[in-house]
Structure formats: C-alpha cells, structure tokens
Amino acid sequence: MHSVRETLRFTADLRLSTILSRQAKDELVQSLIVELGLVECAEIRIGNPGGGEAGQGGTRGISGGERRRVSAAIQLLTNPSLLLCDEVTSGVFD
C-alpha cells in the first residue's frame, strides 16, 4: 500500500517517463493533489477495501470519495483530450 502522493508519482513515472523531467512530474502531481482536494490525505496510505470501520482486519486508509478522486487524478496525469465520468463521480468535482 502506498500513499496518495506515492501512487500519483509512480503513475507519472510510468506514463510520462520520457515526456517530462522529474521536477515537472512532481509539480504536476502536486497541482492535481491541490485541484482535486487531496491535500489533507496526500500522505495517507490508500488502504484496502477490507479495512472498514467495523475493524475487518484491513488498513482503513482514505475515504471512498478520496479514492475516486485519486482514480480521476491518475487518468488526468496524461492530460486526456476526453474524460468520461460516470454518475458515480457525482459530487466529486463540485
């Protein structure tokens, strides 16, 4: 399990390896963290779905809404020309 920031940095390294410098990738990751409201959870481990509040043995990690925003940030790293959002993301970008 990795933190939100580590996950985005790893994804940026994979998807943008030859396009951007390390500093540019770090700046892009930070701007996405700020824009998607992930600042407060940037250093928190993402956790696993089995770690609910009932104490099911997993690591709690970030909330479901934060998890959806991390998924959106992963897709936004490559600056797609089109991004389709399902109604599951309703309220995430308000």
Question: pLDDT 10s digit of each residue in the chain, 94 long?
Answer: 789 999 999 999 999 988 889 999 999 999 999 999 999 999 999 876 555 554 555 667 898 889 989 999 999 998 899 988 776 555 655 5
Q: Which domain holds residue 13?
A: 4-89
Determine the pLDDT at residue 52: 53
Residues linked to residue 45 through DSSP beta bridges, in sequence order? 3
Q: Give pLDDT, residue 74.
A: 94
What is the Cα–Cα distance from 44 to 70, expressed in whole angstroms?
12
94: in domain: no
Q: Is residue 85 part of a domain?
A: yes
- Which residues have CB under 8 Å from 37's CB, separation 6+? 69
User: What residues contact residue 61 under an 8 Å CB cut-off, 6+ apart?
Assistant: 1, 44, 45, 46, 47, 48, 51, 67
Residue 86 pLDDT: 74
The number of C-alpha atoms within 13 Å of 16 and in the hemisphere containing its C-beta is 24
Amino acid 59: pLDDT: 63
User: How many domains is the chain partitioned into structurally?
Assistant: 1
User: What is the per-residue pLDDT for 92?
Assistant: 58
